[in-house]
Structure 1
Amino acid sequence: MKFAWIDLRTVPQARLEAVVDAAIHTRMQGVLCDDESVLKALPPTVTAVTTAAVTEEKQLYGLDADAAWVDVHDEPSLRLACAAAVALPHTVVRFADPTKIPLEIVLAAADRSAGKLITVCADLEEAATVLDVLERGSDGVLLAPSDAGEVFALARLLEAGTSPLELTTLTVDRIEHHGLGDRVCVDTCTHFAEDEGILVGSYSTGFILCCSETHPLPYMPTRPFRVNAGALHSYVLGPENRTNYLSELGSGSTTLAVNSEGRTRPVTVGRAKLESRPLLTITARSADGTVVSLTVQDDWHVRVLGPGGKVHNVTELRQGDELLGYLATDQRHVGFPIGEFCKEH
């Protein structure tokens, strides 16, 4: 679980109380401050940290400490940060290099250590980057907010990680072939795993796991960044239980990669390709009778996933085949879940 420490040392006095209240309200893990009266007023749920409690770089070479602060500005200080991150329970690191390469090195060095790495961030934008470096990110961030609003924004950023989904087994009822229609290929800025794709469906209450083009194809190379997802009207499930129409995705959009075990991660869309192709519709049912529908390109190389990550070419699907899907309990209004009556067919 990612966490944050709030640095109060540069917060203007007029805003200090509001910032402290925001830190408590959002359950920030720690507060860094050298004013003992401020720290003593904190509830026990918030860790009080002083600079006196954090061993400085010049005292660190024996690595006999509980927490360390390392300013990384050259190779020796980078080596020290790596050693501290491996050996100590908490290591706060401030990087002079604006790139994230030194952070990547420290993360790699401390990959299997039990300690927590906290990276000093100049602003919320840097915090968002730091939390995702090497697909792992820093365990925590240290931010000096200008006001209480930045504390609440940081809390939302920490909560933005995606939770796993409980996928369900769907049984194919029928396959119907159609004429031409517009379908969307979603080209992302990531490599999908072989059992990974995106959840797409014609109805807001049911989705089928569409496979990425990570598996060998005749006549063309694999494209592990792409999902041939479905007709442009289809819903695609994104982060925070939001949906978009496939027609709405474009460069810079975010959608949700999902694997056969339900693990999820947000991915950035590089582009969406809309082209006219022959279409087919897959109709399937869950064990409780929920109907799920998906219209995709009528082509052998378009694939969907079944239990255990089994790959199915859509043109070879038959009644009784099992697919992986996701059932949502809410209807949708402009992508948001809403508890209203709505019948889709």
Structure 2
Amino acid sequence: MRFAWIDLREVPARQIQAVVDAAVHARMAGVLSADAKLLGTLPPTVTRILADDGPAPAAAPKKPAGKEAKSTAEADPGNSPSAPGADVLLRTFTTQGELDALAADNRATGAGTPVAGFVDVRDDRTLQLSCAGAMALPYTVIHFADPTKIPLEIVLAAAEPAEGKLVTVVDGLEEASIVFDVLERGSDGILFTPRSADEVFALARLLQATTPQLELSTLTVESIRHVGLGDRVCVDTCSHFEEDEGILVGSYSSGFVLCCSETHPLPYMPTRPFRVNAGALHSYTLGPDNRTNYLSEVGSGTALLAVGADGRTRRVVVGRAKLESRPLLEIRTHAEDGRLVSLTVQDDWHVRVLGPGGKVLNVTELQAGDELLGYLATDKRHVGLPIGEFCKEV
């Protein structure tokens, strides 16, 4: 689960208390400071990270062969790292010897406060050092001087089997959102210096931006009819759909049908695994945060939900939407509670919807009694937002 640490070291003095209060209220995972007294005031719900700005001590010289080497901490447990009032001690390391010393401190018998390492990646040597740190330490905090995310990708790949957590320094909320998505896995955590309490709350919203598991319903087809020429929308996303994925589309905001992506073979044309032939331009489609868009509003950069036949969801971004005039077909269904769910799509065999178990169904071959997968919403809508008001759609 991704997390964030708030760095207080460069927050203006007049903003520190407000930022601390916001970090606690927003349940940030940790707060980093060089002020042990300040950290001591924080509740136990927050991980308190004390910054030791000096370099890590070098590892002890190797003992002659045949004798067991011990770090200073291992030789004398009383010298194990200890930082009263802190849960984690953060130390900088710049060499392999310093990293070895930090790792030895964490292994020491009777060790006190866990020791995390900070490394500034500026070249290949420090990049390799950061990879080694990610494998050896409970937390490795990395600042990347290079704005490209290639070095982060390298560390993520190298640290894939590691038990420790990787924390990446970011300079803004936009970079935070990017860092969390690198190589799909992303950094475990970020270290962020906010300019105000508002940025702490904005970061909290970013951390909570996950997509929900939906409870899909079985819909029974009542009727199908040709309704003539109209405008329909093809939604081309920037993602590859799975075979049992599509997007939810419906004529009414209270109910949607799971429209299949073009991941399955078609006659006369290649598959387009990024596309959903979604429906008529008036239709609703469901996006993140329980918000709907008309298909007429969907365009490059719009975020939608890809939905699987088991109800799993993920955020996908639209690269392009195509509006074209085509013959249309109206599909009317009802849910188990009798609720009407309607969908208007292009009247063509290659347009498909999904049935229970992810069964692929061509819309022109549907018959009364066939079962489709859909989603029933309890919210009425105003400009795409849920609202508690009377609204009847027919």
Q: How does 1:233-312 map to 2 (within 5 A)?
A: 233-312=282-361
TM-superposition CA deviations, 1:263-299 (whole Å, max 9, x none): 1111111111100001111112222222211100011
Larger CA deviation: 30-39 vs 82-91: 82-91
In the TM superposition, residue 142 of structure 1 has moved relative to its aligned partner by: 0.7
Partner of 2:190: 141
Letter in 2 for 1:318: Q
Letter in 1 for 2:99: L
TM-superposition CA deviations, 1:316-343 (whole Å, max 9, x none): 1122222111111111011011122212
Partner of 1:105: 154
Q: Distance in 1 between the 2:333 and 2:134 partners?
A: 50
Corresponding residue to 1:54 among 69, 90, 95: 90
Asked if residue 152 in structure 1 is aligned to residue 201 in structure 2, the reply is: yes
Letter in 1 for 2:251: S
In the TM superposition, residue 112 of structure 1 has moved relative to its aligned partner by: 4.1
In the TM superposition, residue 78 of structure 1 has moved relative to its aligned partner by: 2.2
CA separation of 1:112 and 1:311: change in aligned 2, threshold 3 A: farther
In the TM superposition, residue 136 of structure 1 has moved relative to its aligned partner by: 2.0
| RMSD between superposed Cα atoms in Å | 1.4
Q: Distance in 1 between the 2:91 and 2:312 partners?
A: 38
Corresponding residue to 2:230 among 176, 181, 187: 181
TM-superposition CA deviations, 1:155-184 (whole Å, max 9, x none): 111111212111112122221112100000
Letter in 2 for 1:115: G
Q: Distance in 1 between the 2:301 and 2:190 partners?
A: 25
Partner of 1:224: 273
Q: Distance in 2 between the 1:150 and 1:68 partners?
A: 26
Larger RCO, structure (CA 8 Å, separation 6 or more): 1
Larger CA deviation: 324-333 vs 59-68: 59-68
Larger CA deviation: 63-72 vs 256-265: 63-72
Partner of 1:167: 216
Answer whether contact 1:61 1:80 (CA < 8 A) is retained. no
Partner of 2:68: none
Letter in 1 for 2:7: D
Q: Distance in 2 between the 1:262 and 1:135 partners?
A: 20
After superposing on structure 2, the runs of 4+ consecutive aligned residues of structure 1 that deviate more than 4 Å are none
Aligned residues: 345
TM-superposition CA deviations, 1:111-145 (whole Å, max 9, x none): 34333221100111111111111222212111011
In the TM superposition, residue 74 of structure 1 has moved relative to its aligned partner by: 2.2
Partner of 1:26: 26
Q: How does 1:7-22 map to 2 (within 5 A)?
A: 7-22=7-22
TM-score under structure 1 normalisation?
A: 0.96
TM-score under structure 2 normalisation?
A: 0.84
Q: Distance in 2 between the 1:229 and 1:270 partners?
A: 15
Q: Distance in 1 between the 2:309 and 2:182 partners?
A: 24
In the TM superposition, residue 87 of structure 1 has moved relative to its aligned partner by: 3.8
Q: Distance in 1 between the 2:255 and 2:137 partners?
A: 47
Letter in 1 for 2:158: A
Partner of 2:72: none
Q: Secondary structure at the match of 1:51?
A: strand
Q: Distance in 1 between the 2:162 and 2:31 partners?
A: 24
Q: Distance in 2 between the 1:77 and 1:194 partners?
A: 42
Q: How does 1:190-229 map to 2 (within 5 A)?
A: 190-229=239-278
Q: Distance in 2 between the 1:146 and 1:263 partners?
A: 36
TM-superposition CA deviations, 1:45-101 (whole Å, max 9, x none): 011001231242231146334422222222232233223323433221111221111
Structure 2: give runs of 5+ residues left out of the alignment. Answer: 53-88, 107-114
In the TM superposition, residue 250 of structure 1 has moved relative to its aligned partner by: 1.0
Q: Distance in 2 between the 1:68 and 1:61 partners?
A: 11
Partner of 2:364: 315
In the TM superposition, residue 21 of structure 1 has moved relative to its aligned partner by: 0.8
CA separation of 1:83 and 1:286: change in aligned 2, threshold 3 A: farther
Partner of 1:88: 137
Asked if residue 339 in structure 1 is aligned to residue 384 in structure 2, the reply is: no
Letter in 2 for 1:175: I
Letter in 1 for 2:92: E
